[in-house]
Each structure stands twice: as structure tokens, then as C-alpha cells.
Amino acid sequence: MYQVYNNTLTITVNDWCKAGLTYHQFNHDAKEGYLSIHRRGYRGDTLIDVKSIKRPDRLQKIESTYGKINEKPGSSSLFEVKIDTEARAFFLRQTKPDGTPLGLDLIEKYVNRASLFNSVKKALEKSK
């Protein structure tokens, strides 16, 4: 199964073996420079950079088991935060009980919170 580790698409050595490749093939490819090890691990948890696999037959086996590798990754974030202009206008109109306007730091804090909540709401609606 593909994993993203430090913005790099990786698989473990265990995944390599589950795809029908052998541990001996992994060792040979690593020694000969046909793949890059992204992070060393223990008991098959070593991470292999999938894009660094140079042998087409090995890459084909992995793709047939776990699916095609996207050349261009999709959106890196679940949701995108956009500043809520309606919330900014609302808080600019608000005043304290003594009639003075709210401080700019307080307005910025409230607008950021409102923008974040609206973005989370949209992301949850998209995921349903």
C-alpha cells in the first residue's frame, strides 16, 4: 500500500514482497542503485521511494498490485482556508458596550476563526 512520508510516495519492504517481488530482489536493486531507500526500518518497515524504482518490471508488478502511480499528485490538503469577508465586515461593525470599536487584533482573531470554521464545514460537506 502506498504511503506518503515527508511528501514522498513510498512503500515498505513488506509491501514490496506482497506485490510478488522477493526480498533478494529488493536487496539487489538497493545495492545496484535501481531504487532509493527513503528511510531505514526494522523487520520490513524500510521505506522505498516509489518514484525512484528504475526497473520497469518491478514497477509494473507494484502498480498491478497497488494501482497506478499518479504523475501529478492531487490536492495536498483536504480543505483550503479562505478569509471570510462577510465575517470581517460583521466584526468591523461591532462595538464594545462602551461604544468603542473592537481592536484590530481581536477582529483578526475572530475573522480567522470564522474562516477556519467555514473551511472545515465545506470540507466535511465535500467528504459526504
The stretch 86-101 carries a mean pLDDT of 91
Backbone angles phi, psi at 102, to 5 degrees: -65, 150
**For residue 105, what pLDDT band results from cuts at 50, 70 and 90?**
very high
Question: Helices in the chain by DSSP H: which ranges?
Answer: 13-18, 23-32, 56-66, 85-93, 104-127
In the chain, the percentage of residues whose pLDDT exceeds 90 is 39
Q: Which residues pair with 11 in a beta bridge?
A: 48
Entry pTM: 0.55
The stretch 45-73 carries a mean pLDDT of 85
Edge to edge, the sheet with strand 8-12 lists: 3-5, 8-12, 47-49, 36-39
Residue 119 has, within 13 A of its CA and on its CB side, a CA count of 14
- The answer to whether residues 41 and 47 touch, using CB atoms and an 8 Å cutoff, is yes
**For residue 74, what pLDDT band results from cuts at 50, 70 and 90?**
low
How would you classify the pairing of strands 36-39 and 47-49?
Answer: antiparallel
Q: What is the pLDDT of residues 47-57, one digit of tens each?
A: 999 889 999 99
